[in-house]
Amino acid sequence: MRDIIILPGIGNSGETHWQSHWERANPGLRRFQPSDWDRPNLADWIAALDSAVASADEPPLLVAHSLACLLVAHWQKASVLPVAGAFLVAVPDPASPAFPAEAAGFAAVPAEPFHFPSLVVASSNDPFGSVGYAQMRAAQWGSGLVEVGALGHINGRSGLGDWSEGRTLFRSFVAGAAHESASLAVNG
């Protein structure tokens, strides 16, 4: 099975978060480990992600939530390490009044297309980022976009448990990313 790295947002993903459910169900998933979950430092988070990707046996898949989606955008601009793809859930808007002041270092979000397949998953009532913002970022990053309805911030408070719909989206994304990578290898 391909290496999968879980990238929680600020504060880490608690026990009721779908990312934690997915990790408990599959011990092969691993969580990246920045120095501080509550006072995120962009350079530290980039280094932690770089370390996690570098330790993978093959290009891993990234499963990011919230602030970690912005981390992926910053990281991919700074790193040359390959990843198989990024599943980006609940991309926050740094201009939103709800955006945490502690995360201000992540606010200058790169708009360049990613060098790997990616999918943005957005909720219609996310207090941290509108569907319009998710659409803009998906277009800039060259990502696919799936709108999943009114699921809040798609976190533990959303009451999703294992988020089976998310698992289905992720499996479909992984299958598409593998196909895209194979096409690039053949045509590249």
**Going residue by residue through the chain (188 aa), what tens digit of pLDDT does each one get?**
579 999 999 999 988 899 999 999 998 899 999 999 999 999 999 999 999 999 999 999 999 999 999 999 999 999 999 999 999 999 999 999 999 999 999 999 999 999 999 999 999 999 999 999 999 999 999 999 999 999 989 887 887 878 989 899 999 999 987 655 444 333 34
pLDDT computed for residue 1 by the predictor = 59
Q: For the domain that residue 150 is a member of, what is the CATH number?
A: 3.40.50.1820
Domain that holds residue 118: 4-187
pLDDT computed for residue 77 by the predictor = 95
pLDDT computed for residue 179 by the predictor = 58
pLDDT computed for residue 160 by the predictor = 81
pLDDT computed for residue 178 by the predictor = 65
Q: Domains in the chain: how many in total?
A: 1
Residue type at position 174: V
Determine phi and psi for 5, rounding to 5 degrees: -110, 125
Q: Helix, strand, or coil here: 16?
A: coil
pLDDT computed for residue 164 by the predictor = 86
Could you tell me if 64 and 48 are in contact, meaning their C-beta atoms sit under 8 angstroms apart? no
Measured distance CA(120)–CA(29) in Å, rounded: 20
pLDDT computed for residue 157 by the predictor = 81
Inter-CA distances, 13 with 66, 109, 183, Å: 10, 22, 35
Measured distance CA(73)–CA(69) in Å, rounded: 7
Measured distance CA(17)–CA(161) in Å, rounded: 7
Q: What is the pTM of this model?
A: 0.93
pLDDT computed for residue 183 by the predictor = 40
User: Which helix (H) or strand (E) element contains residue 147?
Assistant: strand 144-147
